[in-house]
Amino acid sequence: MSGDGDGGASVRRLADWDADRLRALAEEYGTPLYVDDLARVRANHARLAAAFPDAEVLFAVKANAGAHVLRALRDAGAGAECASAGELARALDAGFDPADVHYTAVNPPAEDLDYAVSVAAAHPALTVTAGARDTIERLDERGFSGRFCLRVHPGVGAGHSESVSTGKDAKFGVPADEAVEVLADADSRGFDVVGVHAHAGSGIANDQLDEHARVVATLANVARATATDLDLEFVDVGGGFGVPYHEDEAPLDLDAVAERTRDALDGVDATLTIEPGRYLVADAGVLLTEVNTVKRVSESVIAGADTGMTTLVRPAMYGSYHPIRSLVADDRPTEEVSVVGPVCESTDVLGEARDLPAPERGDLLAVGNAGAYGVEMASQYNSRPRPAVVALDGGESGVARRRETLADVTHAEDTADTYQEP
């Protein structure tokens, strides 16, 4: 990689990736292919930790749960924030100390809650977060008496779209005006109440710092109101720190975020906890895909690729923009090209009207900022196997997740006990 894979620059653009190396990886491992650069993951963590020197940093595992990513962040000093039993299991398998792990599920299924309570019993340093009175009752019914954090609904949201503006969504957390009462209830049940938590949303930008600060101030008010009765260890302000997906978009002013956060917590005697996900891994990943079909219709140029919404669903689900770069020689004339996938859906579009070299079959394309919520949200829709993932670390590379086969797609049916062909 060229540029700052192991440096401190606040943004890594798609143009900063070394085209020759990406072409070599595609040649060796095939396409579609996710590529994660662990040096960049570590650099992003170091920059964040420098901006928040006194904070506990927990990686939001849902952004990228690959064992290679988890181990890199564990070694860098991060903890893990887990939204499901599966993420909790993967964090523990990756070697995170349970004292550095928070389980923060929303409306957890019974099996998930059973597992979390059993883990907490075996590892009392684990912190369990709940965002509903019912969840507190369900924990109590299971005999939970461990470290407890309450998720608060601040009524204020931010993020790259309404779909991820969780701070405004009543699905998440106990209303702020009920938080003190609910914390007292958890304490009376014998829970070890250690913190409060809230989250504004995913993809917070520079122009949304007011909303972020209001969420933090809401938590600060709850912490102050409970100070005489409870000795809170931490105030968890969530993550959601955004990254620039558009080429001309400025990077997040992390120092400004940190300053606004500290100001909003003024006077609160508790450790600050943050839960970055996207910020640590998004620009550390690219998705490589090969053009297999070129179609010219009227004034439109369509490049059909071997990957689409089953591999990277964010454009179809959220209308998200991801930069696209052609890795062919740059001496071709450019034109407006729409890059589409092989799925039988009109929403199966990676990018529309992009200024790219005139496409030809066999061209290799790179899709940027694919390290967060890329492979994690990949599916087998249309019975398509999910792609391989390659991890880079300096000059080394290796398969972190093998490419699925058609046999993998049907494995759960082939191994079922019923409905087999006689």
The predicted-structure confidence for 250-280, as pLDDT tens digits, reads as follows: 999 999 999 999 999 988 999 999 999 999 9
Domain ends where: 236, 257, 276? 276
The pLDDT, as a whole number, for residue 3 is 40
Same domain, 129 and 261: yes
Same domain, 223 and 261: yes
Query: Would residue 356 count as lying in a domain?
Result: yes
- CATH label of the domain that carries residue 238: 3.20.20.10
Q: Tell me the pLDDT band of 161, cut-offs 50, 70 and 90.
A: very low
pLDDT, tens digit, 9 for 90 and up, residues 374-421: 999 999 999 999 999 999 999 999 999 999 999 999 999 999 877 766
Peptide bond into 98 cis (omega under 30): no
Same domain, 311 and 229: no
Residue reference for tokens 């957890």: 108
Return all residues near 340 (Cβ < 8 A) that are at least 6 apart.
302, 303, 304, 305, 308, 348, 349, 350
Domain ends where: 259, 276, 293? 276
The pLDDT, as a whole number, for residue 303 is 98
Same domain, 109 and 197: yes
- CATH label of the domain that carries residue 291: 2.40.37.10
Tally of domains in the chain: 2
Query: Would residue 44 count as lying in a domain?
Result: no
Q: Which residues are annotated as a binding site for substrate?
A: 278, 314, 318, 345, 373
Q: Which residue of the set 110, 170, 329, 344 is catalytic?
A: 344
What percentage of the chain has pLDDT greater than the value 90? 83
Query: Would residue 96 count as lying in a domain?
Result: no
Q: Which residue has better confidence, 156 or 126?
A: 126
Per the annotation, the verdict on 149 as an active-site residue is no
Q: Which residue has better confidence, 212 or 362?
A: 362
Same domain, 118 and 248: yes
State how far the alpha carbon of 163 is from the alpha carbons of 77, 160, 201, 318, 378, in Å.
31, 8, 9, 7, 18
The pLDDT, as a whole number, for residue 199 is 81
Same domain, 226 and 325: no
Same domain, 119 and 258: yes
Domain that holds residue 157: 104-276
Q: Which residues are annotated as a binding site?
A: 240, 275-278, 314, 318, 345, 373
Same domain, 292 and 334: yes
Same domain, 146 and 223: yes
Query: Would residue 152 count as lying in a domain?
Result: yes
Residue 361 has pLDDT above 50, yes or no: yes
pLDDT, tens digit, 9 for 90 and up, residues 69-97: 999 999 999 999 999 999 999 999 999 99
The pLDDT, as a whole number, for residue 211 is 84
pLDDT, tens digit, 9 for 90 and up, residues 10-40: 899 999 999 999 999 999 999 999 999 999 9
* Lowest mean pLDDT across 136-150, 171-185, 202-216, 373-387: 202-216
Q: Which residues are annotated as a binding site for pyridoxal 5'-phosphate?
A: 240, 275-278, 373
Q: Tell me the pLDDT band of 330, cut-offs 50, 70 and 90.
A: confident
Same domain, 230 and 330: no
The pLDDT, as a whole number, for residue 160 is 41
What percentage of the chain has pLDDT greater than the value 70? 93
Distance in angstroms (rounded) separating the CA atoms of residues 101 and 222: 23
Residue 156 has pLDDT above 60, yes or no: no
For residue 132 the two structure tokens come to 């509903």
Average pLDDT of the chain?
92
Contact between residue 310 and residue 334 where contact means Cβ atoms under 8 Å apart = no
The pLDDT, as a whole number, for residue 422 is 62
Same domain, 257 and 116: yes
Domain ends where: 248, 276, 304? 276
Query: Would residue 421 count as lying in a domain?
Result: no
Strand partners, 357: 334
Same domain, 302 and 344: yes
pLDDT, tens digit, 9 for 90 and up, residues 284-329: 999 999 999 999 988 889 999 999 999 999 999 999 999 999 999 7
Residue 220 has pLDDT above 90, yes or no: yes
> Nearest-CA neighbor of 287 among 155, 419, 133, 390?
390
Query: Would residue 99 count as lying in a domain?
Result: no
Query: Would residue 109 count as lying in a domain?
Result: yes
